[in-house]
Amino acid sequence: MRRNLLIGNKWKVVCVFVLLLPFVLSPLIAQYLVPPYSIIYEDLRYLRLRSGRTDLDFLSGPFLYTDIINFCSSFSFGKQKKITSSFCFRSGGSGEKQAIIAGVNPDLHLVRERKVSRVNPFFRTFSFFSPASGVGIVNVMAVDPRAPDFEGYIGKEWRGLAGYTEQAYLLIERKFMRITLGRSYYTKGNGRTGNLTFSRFCRPMDSFQFHFRKKFFTMSFILAQLDPINGKRRYLSSHTFGFRYRNLSIDFTEAFLYGGSDRIFSFSLLNPFLFFHGEQMNDNSLGLTGNTLGSITFDYLFSKGAVYGEVLIDDVQLDKKEPGDLEPNEVGVLLGFESADILGLDRLYLGIEYVALTNRTYKTPNEHEWYLHRNVPIGYPLGSDLDRFNVFIKRYLGKNIQLGFQYNLIRQGEGELDKPWDSPWMKYTVEEGYSEPFPTGVVEYTNKIEFMLYYLFSYDNYLYFSAGYSRISNYEHNPGVLKNEFFCKVGWWLDFKKAFYF
């Protein structure tokens, strides 16, 4: 009884603190987070390389709407068409007025693959309310008829339709600090095909987020409740400490995923200044067990180019005293290079990226500790036991047309993220040793090329077309099985928003 009372009092303090924040802080202009699926992010990469500016922190996302506006205000494509004139809606005025913003976002596209054509409609609603300067409340609802076709979909389907709340959060912004409470995106790293610790492809999480930046120092913290697995509650705590010096950015991140049938938030993991792995190892009285991941992320910007990367450590065995120490290391690495206007070709973007993740990365013997949210990887979108080589080229033609080309070579081992945990090393002695090839088992090879065409009336109204070919050897890890496939997609994206000031 006393323990429940203490827990209740703790949460009362937290709730009161959050409710008082809008009145305690001195926030600036109201704004919202631009979701990572916006096409503007591709062009922001190019603009950063071309200008050498470091206004936007590419190791931490998503970006604020006003930060993008401020960054792009001095750039133009083609016939001096400013990006800000077509990105979302015009903010208007000084931003000191209260506002309600409403909008819709239909995405209608036709896909043809496996000699079958289908229409994939996707629809979002957007609402935003600013009760005070620097305070925003956002809600985004989504209707996706194709969602139930995803093998890991855990939501409901009604008469062929599936819908969910994609985003719903309170945002409070100050000059050096941002607080987000609710369901929102959270990314770490500059990977173009995905990040290893927090990827832009992960579903938004119900969370409390805190971001701080002052001169060369940055800090981020997230506390999230994930979907339950096998009736067990799941929570995620992560903190990031970073340094920004001129054109060099470095982040150090630790993430800890834990849970259980009767587990609640561990108060020690609400403290962003604690070393989570140390708490797990030393405080056995709390029964604090989980999946710890650590990563180092870097980004270096030079004249019209950048190199970036991420090193992920899930589990590394340093001792060789017993069979359990023979477990192969679970690690990952991402390395990338990108350039603007290479070889003197104006308005050309080139990106090259390599990713490798060993078998069992993101997993533990306890399934509820796997690094997933709603059956989607929180880290790299393709999972583990793989490597990927990617080349992406984009050319800007005039003020409206963008041409793209992409090549992927993917080697996928049998240790995919949905494969149950195994521990074959336990059958060996330390003297015998144990090792695995990389990737493991029968490796599936995918070669894929894709051509893309965009016609932008604006960033919130454009047409797109893509076509390509993929060749998969050892399909689904069956030796000698070959799958060839042509595909194409054509669609229209509209993101309409209207602001009402009062």
The most confident of the ranges 19-28, 188-197, 419-428 is 188-197
- Number of domains within the chain: 1
SS3 state of residue 263: coil
Q: Say if residue 6's pLDDT is above 60.
A: no
SS (H, E, C) 121-151: EEEEEEEEEEEECCEEEEEEEEECCCHHHCC
Name the residue range of residue 156's domain: 2-501
Please tell me the predicted confidence (pLDDT) of residue 98. 61
Q: How many CA atoms lie within 13 A of 19 on its CB side?
A: 6
Does 76 or 95 have the greater pLDDT score?
A: 76
Please tell me the predicted confidence (pLDDT) of residue 91. 38
Contact 44, 36 (CB under 8 A): no
Least confident of 242-256, 280-294, 396-410, 432-446: 280-294
Q: Which residue has the tokens 């004139």?
A: 85
Please tell me the predicted confidence (pLDDT) of residue 146. 77
CATH classification of the domain holding 137: 2.40.160.130
Q: Say if residue 90's pLDDT is above 60.
A: no
What letter does residue 224 receive in the DSSP assignment? Answer: E
Please tell me the predicted confidence (pLDDT) of residue 283. 62
Q: Say if residue 352's pLDDT is above 50.
A: yes
372-418 pLDDT per residue, tens: 999 999 999 999 999 999 999 999 998 889 999 999 999 999 999 88
- Cα(177)–Cα(459) distance, integer angstroms: 28
- Closest C-alpha among 188, 189, 187, 186 to residue 299: 189
Q: Mention every residue, 6+ apart, whose C-beta is less than 8 A from residue 213.
A: 57, 176, 177, 219, 244
Please tell me the predicted confidence (pLDDT) of residue 80. 34
CA angle, 269 then 271 then 276, to 5°: 50
- Cα(407)–Cα(368) distance, integer angstroms: 35
416-437 pLDDT per residue, tens: 988 999 999 999 888 888 999 9
Does 63 or 106 have the greater pLDDT score?
A: 63
Measured in whole angstroms, the distance separating CA 501 from the mean position of its chain's CA atoms is: 32
265, 267, 270, 273: CA torsion to nearest 10: -150
